Structure 1
């Protein structure tokens, strides 16, 4: 679940002492209420303001710099102890900032609002998940170096499928929270980006342990075809493809991801009452294969109880079949698992 946190506010302000001495002035600065800026009064005031509004704040010491005041620092003037401060403040704009992950290591700031339902909700409405999302991307390092640019300068939008590990985890998670037409700035910590490895991208190298920023525009999205919109052959084909995706994840040690793939594959052919005899045979083999492979995943994940359940499903399938057919199926399953 995406957690909303205080807005990012862009302001202009000039602060001075009661004798007219200017102690701070900025023609454009951005901050969040949770982080604060300059003095506590600024964060409290912007929450009551409208875009474009200008106000004059009289700030008492308890909402300014208190009984200790503040020493001179760089271009910022000193504030005497127990001094009141006058602040001319203009709210230029504000943007929604959200925590994509609970540990705040993937943060999203909306630069342009989108429309209608977001990708995550579309994914929830899709029984099997996975949405094709065309996006425009600009990836930057913290120093501003552009390492990736896709979908701009008349190029076709970059397309990827969510929840398929086709992009870094943080970007995948962030796009799931976006709406059609939305433009957002996503800041991704190394744990959800390229981790401790160096990554060579189109325009530059991302050094190990880098926090990266992506400017993302979600052009549109399209959900996968639902099983009830498929004919029998399409269901069997979709199940087979999902099983192969599970095999690929299993082979590189991503057992939780593989388990999810096998579960999705089995769901495509969960109901086979309308299948022909040949289609039923194919679907039973596929279901048995997926359950056995999923059981192997559960063993790797030390989820022994679930592994037993999955194996039991296969045993029940065998018992429900004729003996010769069962032996044939078991040999076939183990050969193709």
Structure 2
């Protein structure tokens, strides 16, 4: 087989197996028809697609639809389809194999007879798209106006329980404004307010998603800007408590209580931390007690074996002496 034939076979195999688009293998993409050009839809782009959705080989969705990348849920398009858009080119047709997390989640889609744990497959054809402005193409006024709209959209998604989608919106705001300084005090304050709110909301989303390390990171960002921020300290404490960092969590809740003595939730969390620390210490004591007992038992057995060997050796020595005396 020639090198060129071997390379072609490799490409065909790769195309057949598909491209994994997420770390958890929740979205798999197989290209049926390649697209044109080198441009892809970006976050906020307007796209026109044709969709065919199937579940267990049954067609449940077939339509043309326009939506904004990052806001596909508004048009009843699964999150997984939305996340694949930035990989597609105009004219491309692909199959997207979606795990429930990226399809219809734990609720399923009763109107389509799709259960809460069902995988789905979407055939997606990207007919056309218009890219959104990148952050470097917008002036500060545009960024602030758009940030207000995107914040509302993120809040809407959060209230609906669509935490992945909410995260995307809050991250967009941060990407636009984190490097901005502002021309005057008013602009600087608006920028800081958007950044604080976005990081706080991200922390809350990540707490709901049980991604506690990300929650801590976003709380830290807020505390860098406002070291006494009560919400950031409390949410960081929650995340640390879930990570079994009980002492650090208690320190955060104590700071909240120092700032606001009437915060009952923080007081309750301090008690929870104290209980966890006590429970952890008791568990350690039991673990070490068992460990020391095992060591003691092992040493006792070793001592018995050594004593037995010593006695046996002494008996052998006496027998040898008697034998030698008889031979004389």
Moved more, 236-245 or 225-234: 225-234
User: Does residue 107 of structure 1 match 2:28?
Assistant: yes
Structure (1/2) with the larger helix percentage: 2
User: Does residue 135 of structure 1 match 2:55?
Assistant: no
SS in 1 for 2:183: coil
Q: Distance in 1 between matches of 2:127 and 2:98?
A: 21
Q: Distance in 1 between matches of 2:15 and 2:172?
A: 35
Aligned to 2:187: 279
Once the two structures are superposed, residues 76-114 of structure 1 have per-residue CA deviations (whole angstroms, 9 ceiling, x without a partner) of: xxxxxxxxxxxxxxxxx9993313346655433322211
Alignment of 1:168-183 (within 5 A): 168-183=78-93
Aligned to 2:140: 232
User: Conserved in 1, the CA contact under 8 Å of 2:70 and 2:168?
Assistant: no
Q: Distance in 1 between matches of 2:142 and 2:205?
A: 26
Once the two structures are superposed, residues 126-147 of structure 1 have per-residue CA deviations (whole angstroms, 9 ceiling, x without a partner) of: xxx343321111223333x332
Alignment of 1:49-128 (within 5 A): 96-97=15-16, 98-101=18-21, 106-117=27-38, 119=40, 123=42
Q: Distance in 2 between matches of 1:130 and 1:164?
A: 8
Once the two structures are superposed, residues 196-236 of structure 1 have per-residue CA deviations (whole angstroms, 9 ceiling, x without a partner) of: 544255xx543554333322211123322123322332211
User: Conserved in 1, the CA contact under 8 Å of 2:55 and 2:120?
Assistant: yes
SS in 2 for 1:308: helix
Counterpart of 1:146 (choices 34, 59, 66) is: 59
Q: 1:149 to 1:307 in 2, by over 3 A?
A: same
SS in 2 for 1:115: coil
Q: Distance in 2 between matches of 1:244 and 1:196?
A: 25
What is the CA distance between 1:295 and its match in structure 2? 4.8
What is the CA distance between 1:255 and its match in structure 2? 5.2
- Give the paired residue count: 214
Q: 1:114 to 1:94 in 2, by over 3 A?
A: farther
Q: 1:139 to 1:316 in 2, by over 3 A?
A: same
Unaligned ranges ≥5, structure 1: 1-46, 52-92, 124-128, 152-157, 318-337
Using structure 2 for the length normalisation, give the TM-score: 0.52
Larger RCO (CA under 8 A, 6+ residues apart): 1
Q: Distance in 2 between matches of 1:233 and 1:179?
A: 31
Counterpart of 1:313 (choices 210, 225, 241) is: 225
User: Does residue 160 of structure 1 match 2:67?
Assistant: yes
User: Conserved in 2, the CA contact under 8 Å of 1:242 and 1:262?
Assistant: yes
Unaligned ranges ≥5, structure 2: 230-328
Structure (1/2) with the larger strand percentage: 1
Q: Distance in 2 between matches of 1:309 and 1:147?
A: 44
User: Over aligned residue pairs, what C-alpha RMSD do you find?
Assistant: 3.8
Q: Distance in 1 between matches of 2:164 and 2:225?
A: 20
Q: Distance in 2 between matches of 1:285 and 1:50?
A: 54
What is the CA distance between 1:237 and its match in structure 2? 0.9
User: Conserved in 2, the CA contact under 8 Å of 1:232 and 1:275?
Assistant: no
Once the two structures are superposed, residues 274-316 of structure 1 have per-residue CA deviations (whole angstroms, 9 ceiling, x without a partner) of: 6355434433433343344445556664343541332221349
